[in-house]
Amino acid sequence: MRILVVEDQPKIAGFVKKGLEEHGFVVDVCKDGDSGFEMACEEPFDAIVLDIMLPGRDGLSVLRGLRERGNGVPVMLLTARSELNERVEGFHIGADDYLTKPFYVEELVVRLQSLLRRASGQTSSVLHEADLKVDLMTREVERAGQSITLTQREFALLEYLMRSPGRVFTRTQIYTHVWGMHFDPGTNLVDVCIRRLRNKIDKGFDPPLIETLRGVGYRFRAKA
């Protein structure tokens, strides 16, 4: 999933970015509230990790502006302060969770995964369709009881498709969320990764779970 981290302290931003990427997230970093707000309005993120004390707009102002625009992206607030009134204000204007510095990146990962599950209506950290099982916490994948080894990118692609079964994703959407970059019409990265993923989770199994809509994009097989 694609995460925006808005944090002005380079050491903390680097620590969070590295930790999230090690757990399969695609991460963009902004160092001030103004650019963070602009990026959050213009780019499709699955969640935002937002520091409260920022140059320019503070985190609460960024959050308030997003909610006033109808942007419901899940937001995790970060702060070095722990006053009750600040936490209450954050939740009141639309924060989804709150983490006080210092923190362990493992806790941040678990909380983000919980936010993403709630946002997609899921109640479990395990995605299950037909005989395919994907554990988002342990990153283990099985089909028909057989363990399947995926690269980090293949896992991210499979998770992205499985979270919205039946929804068609264009190559641009997939490229932006899974690679975290603007789409290059000349690249075939998406098609190559789809082909490799199919060879691992569909080849030799029935039914095939990744479907192609020619000229449009790809989708994960809709739940029966």
Q: Digits of tens for pLDDT over the chain (224 positions)?
A: 789 999 999 999 999 999 998 888 889 999 999 999 999 998 889 899 999 989 999 999 999 999 999 999 999 999 876 666 777 888 899 999 989 888 888 899 989 988 887 776 665 678 888 899 999 878 899 999 999 999 988 998 999 898 888 889 998 888 888 887 665 667 788 999 999 999 999 998 988 999 999 888 999 987 65
**For residues 1 and 122, what is the distance between their CA atoms, to the nearest angstrom?**
15
User: Which of 139, 135, 119 has its CA nearest to residue 73?
Assistant: 119
| Contacting residues for 126 by C-beta, under 8 A, at least 6 apart | 133, 134, 135, 136
Structure tokens at 158: 């499979």
Ranges of CATH 3.40.50.2300 domains, the chain = 2-120
CATH number for the domain running over 126-220: 1.10.10.10
Ranges of CATH 1.10.10.10 domains, the chain = 126-220
What was the pLDDT predicted at 182? 66
What was the pLDDT predicted at 188? 85
Residue-by-residue DSSP string for 14-29 = HHHHHHHHHTT-EEEE
The CATH class for the domain spanning 2-120 reads alpha beta
